[in-house]
Amino acid sequence: MAAGEIALVDSDSATVAIRLSGDWQVRDGMPALAVLEDGMSSRSGVSKVEFDVTELGEWDSVLVTFALQVSDFCASHKLELDRGGLPEGAQRLLGLAETVPEKSDARSAEQKSSFLARVGTAAQNGWGEATGMLAFIGEMTMAVGRLLRGRARFRMVDLGLMLQHSGADALPIITLISLLVGSIFAFVGAVQLEQFGAAIYVADLVGIAMTREMGAMMTAIVMAGRTGAAFAAQLGSMKVNQEIDALETMGISPLDYLVLPRMIALCAMMPLLCLYADFVGILGGAAVGVGMLGIAPSAYAQQTIGAVTYTHLIGGICKASVYGVLVALSGCMRGMQSGSSASAVGDATTAAVVTSIVLVVCASGVFAVLFYALGI
Amino acid sequence: MRSVSEDSQPSVHLEIRDLTMAYGSFVLQRDLNFTINRGDVFIIMGGSGCGKSTLLRHLVGLKDPAKGDVFYSGESFTESEPERRREILRGVGVTYQSGGLWSSMTLAENVGVPLGEYTDLTPREVSEVAGFKLALVGLRGFEDFYPSEISGGMQKRAGLARAIALDPEVLFFDEPSAGLDPISSRLLDDLILELRDSLGATIVIVTHELASIFAIGNNSVFLDAKTRTMIAQGDPKYLRDHAEHDDVRRFLRRGEEA
C-alpha cells in the first residue's frame, strides 16, 4: 500500500472527518498536520472532529503521534474530538500517553538565557575554576608537607608503577619526537646557514635550541598528552567507581594515597626525560649535519661541545622540572575534580591536556623573560 | 566481640538531628530526625531520587550537612576535628553501590588496606586476616584476583569483606542487592544478618528491594521525594499496614492500594 495520507471530509455541517489512508509507518514518515490546519481555517461552524479509518492500512507509533497532534490542535481550537474511529490499539496507546500530565517545570531548564546572564554565568564559572585550582594547590602543598614530615601514606608499589609508567615507558615516544625535532632544526638551519658557507653552525643551532628550550618543551607536551591525560582518566574513573569515596570513608586521604605517588613520579622523571631528549635531539641534528651537509662527525661533536654550556643544559632542566610539576598538577587536579559519569571522565581528560599545555606554554614565556632579565 | 543479647535495653547508636541535605541551593531533604539503635537492621527507603544514597553519604562524612548534625554514640560527627572523625570512621564499614573496590589491587590487597592502615599487624598477618575475611563472604581462593576478573555479585561481597576488615560497629550498605539475581540477593541478606549477630554490628541499609526490607529490616525511615522530608519511621512490616501516609503503604505493597 502507499504511504499514509490524510484528507478532510465533511460528515455534516458541524463535523469534519479526517480520512486516514495508506500505511502509517515510521519508515514512511508522517503526513503534515498542515492539511488539517488549512482545511479548518477555510471552514466555519465546525465544532467536532472525528477519524475515518476505512482506508487505513498498516499503522504504528506514527499514527498515535499524529493523533496526539490532532488532539492538541483540537484542544487549542476548542474543538470536540471523537477518537472512537481510531483502531482500538491506537486508542489504548493514546490513553497511556495521556495518563500522566505533562510536567510543566521539566522544560524550565532549557530556557534561553540572555547575553548578560551568559556572561555572568561564564564569569562565575571562571571564578569557581580559579578558586578550585587554588584550593587544589593548597591541599597539595599540605600533602607535600605531610610527605616531608614522613606522615603521608601511600603504597611504594604504586610509586614504583608510576615511575615506570611516566619514565621508562615514555622513552620510545620521547626518542621519536626528539630525534625528529632535532633533525627538523638542522634542516631549517642548514638552508639558511649554507648560504653563508657556515653549515658547521648547524651544530650550535641544534645544540642550543634543544638544551635550552625544545628538549624541555617537547618532553612536557608529550607527557601532558600521555601521562597527564592518563592521570586524569585514572583518577576520574576511580571517582566514578566510588574508589575515592572508599578511601575517604576509611580515613585515608586520596591526595596522599593517589595523587602524591603520581606527582612524585612525574616530577622525578621529567628532568631525566628532558636530559635524554636533549641528547637524542642533538643526535638527530648530527644525523642531518653529517649525513646531508657532509660535516665530519668529530667536527660536529666538537662544535656542539663548544656551543652547549652547562648554563644552557641546567636552564633547560630547571624548566623541565617546573613543567613536570605543572603537568602532574593539572592532570591530577582535573581527575580529582571529575564528575561521576563516563562523559565527565572524558571531559576531565581533555581539560587535563588543555590545562597542562596552556600552563606549560605560559611558564615557558615567563622563563624567557626571566632568563633574559638575568642575562642567562 | 560485642553481642546484641548483652544489652537488653536498646541503646542509641546513631542519632540524626535536624539534618538538612542540599546541593547548592537545591534542598534534597529537610529536617530529618531519627535514631538508630545498637544491633538494628535499619532500612533507609524511598522512591528513586529522593536522597537515600545522599543521606548515607552524610552519615559517613562524604558530604557535610547544610544544617543539623549526626551523632555517633552521642558524639557529634559533623563538628568533630578531622583526627576525631578518623577515629569514628575506624568503627564504620561502608559498601558501595558500584563496589568501590580499588581496581589496581587484588582482593586480598583491597581487604588488607584498612588493616595495614589501622593495625600493627605484619604484612604476613594482614594477608592471613584478609584471607579470612574473604572466606567469611564466600570468596576463599579468590585472594589474588583483581576486581575486574570477578562477577558483579562477587565484587559486592568483596566490598563487604573490605568493609568488615576492622570488625566495624556500624556497617552501611548502599543498594546491596541492586543488580543481583534473586538467589544471590537472598544469600546476601542472610550474610548481613549473620554478620550482625556475629559482629554485634549495627546495620544501615539503603534499599528499595521490598523482599529484603521485610526479610531483614527491623526499623526504617521513609524519605519522600515530593515533600522532601521523612514521612514514616518504624518497623517496615508494621508500616506496610499501619503507616499514616498512603504513599508509604503503597510503596511497601508495590503500588497496590491498602
* B217 and B239 housed in the same domain: yes
* B180 and B162 housed in the same domain: no
User: Which portions of chain A are predicted below pLDDT 50?
Assistant: none
From chain A residues 141-160, the ones with a CB under 8 A of any chain B CB are: 153, 158
Average pLDDT over every residue of B179-207: 89
> Would the CB atoms of B100 and A245 count as touching at under 8 Å?
yes
* B179 and B138 housed in the same domain: no
* B72 and B106 housed in the same domain: no
B130, B149, B167 - which closes a domain: B167
d(CA B182, CA A182): 64
* B81 and B196 housed in the same domain: yes
Q: Which of A158, A241, A251 sits opposite B100 (nearest CB)?
A: A241
Range of the domain at B118: 100-167
Nearest to A151 by CA among B85, B117, B88, B122: B117
Asked whether residue B4 is assigned to any structural domain, the reply reads no
Q: Does the ipTM surpass 0.90?
A: no
* pLDDT recorded at residue B3: 45
Q: What is the pLDDT of residues A40-83, one digit of tens each?
A: 888 877 888 888 888 888 888 888 888 888 888 888 888 888 88
Instruction: Please tell me the least confidently modeled range out of A152-156, A314-318, B107-111, B169-173.
Output: A152-156
Asked whether residue B21 is assigned to any structural domain, the reply reads yes
Query: What is the Cα B231 distance to its own chain's centre?
Result: 21
* B156 and B45 housed in the same domain: no
- pLDDT band at B199; cut points 50, 70, 90: confident
Q: What is the pLDDT of residues B124-164, one digit of tens each?
A: 999 999 999 999 888 999 999 999 999 888 898 899 999 99
CATH number of the domain residue B57 falls in: 3.40.50.300
Asked whether residue B6 is assigned to any structural domain, the reply reads no
* pLDDT recorded at residue B2: 46
Q: What spatial distance separates the first Cα and last Cα of chain A, rounded to whole Å?
A: 85
Q: What spatial distance separates the first Cα and last Cα of chain B, rounded to whole Å?
A: 43
> Would the CB atoms of A243 and B86 count as touching at under 8 Å?
no
According to DSSP, residue B147 is labeled G
* pLDDT recorded at residue B221: 93
Q: CB pairs under 8 A, 24+ apart, for A37-45?
A: A37/A73, A39/A8, A40/A8, A40/A16, A40/A77, A40/A79, A43/A10, A43/A16, A45/A13, A45/A14
* pLDDT recorded at residue B1: 44
Residues of chain A found within 8 Å of residue B61, distances taken between Cβ atoms = 248-249
Residue of A154, A245, A248, A253 to mutate when probing chain B, most B C-beta within 10 A: A245
**Alpha carbon of B169 to those of A100, A282, B64, B89, B160: distances in Å?**
45, 64, 22, 10, 14
* B204 and B152 housed in the same domain: no
Nearest to B112 by CA among B131, B98, B99: B131
Residues of chain A found within 8 Å of residue B102, distances taken between Cβ atoms = 238, 243, 246-247
d(CA B46, CA B49): 8
Asked whether residue B220 is assigned to any structural domain, the reply reads yes
Find, in chain B, the residue whose alpha carbon is nearest to that of A251.
B86
Q: Which of A153, A241, A250 sits opposite B114 (nearest CB)?
A: A250
* pLDDT recorded at residue A1: 55
* B221 and B134 housed in the same domain: no
Average pLDDT over every residue of B177-196: 87
Residue of A249, A257, A258, A345 to mutate when probing chain B, most B C-beta within 10 A: A249
Asked if A164 is an interface residue toward chain B (Cβ–Cβ < 8 A), one would say: no
> Would the CB atoms of B62 and A251 count as touching at under 8 Å?
no
Distance to chain B for A64, nearest Cα, Å:
28
* pLDDT recorded at residue B8: 55
Q: Which residues contact B73 (CB under 8 A, 6 or more apart)?
A: B12, B13
> Would the CB atoms of B104 and A245 count as touching at under 8 Å?
no
- pLDDT band at B4; cut points 50, 70, 90: very low
Distance to chain B for A356, nearest Cα, Å:
25
Asked if A186 is an interface residue toward chain B (Cβ–Cβ < 8 A), one would say: no
* B78 and B40 housed in the same domain: yes
Q: What is the pLDDT of residues B18-39, one digit of tens each?
A: 999 998 888 899 899 999 999 8
B117, B136, B167 - which closes a domain: B167
> Would the CB atoms of A245 and B62 count as touching at under 8 Å?
yes
d(CA B86, CA B91): 9
> Would the CB atoms of A250 and B101 count as touching at under 8 Å?
no
d(CA A324, CA B44): 47
What domain count does chain B have?
Answer: 2
Q: Which of A153, A246, A251 sits opposite B100 (nearest CB)?
A: A246
CATH code: domain A5-100 is 3.30.750.24
Average pLDDT taken over every residue of chain B: 88
* B115 and B228 housed in the same domain: no
Asked whether residue B57 is assigned to any structural domain, the reply reads yes
Domain ranges in chain A are 5-100, 131-374
Asked whether residue B5 is assigned to any structural domain, the reply reads no
B150, B167, B184 - which closes a domain: B167
* B148 and B45 housed in the same domain: no
Q: Which residues contact A44 (CB under 8 A, 6 or more apart)?
A: none
* B134 and B176 housed in the same domain: no
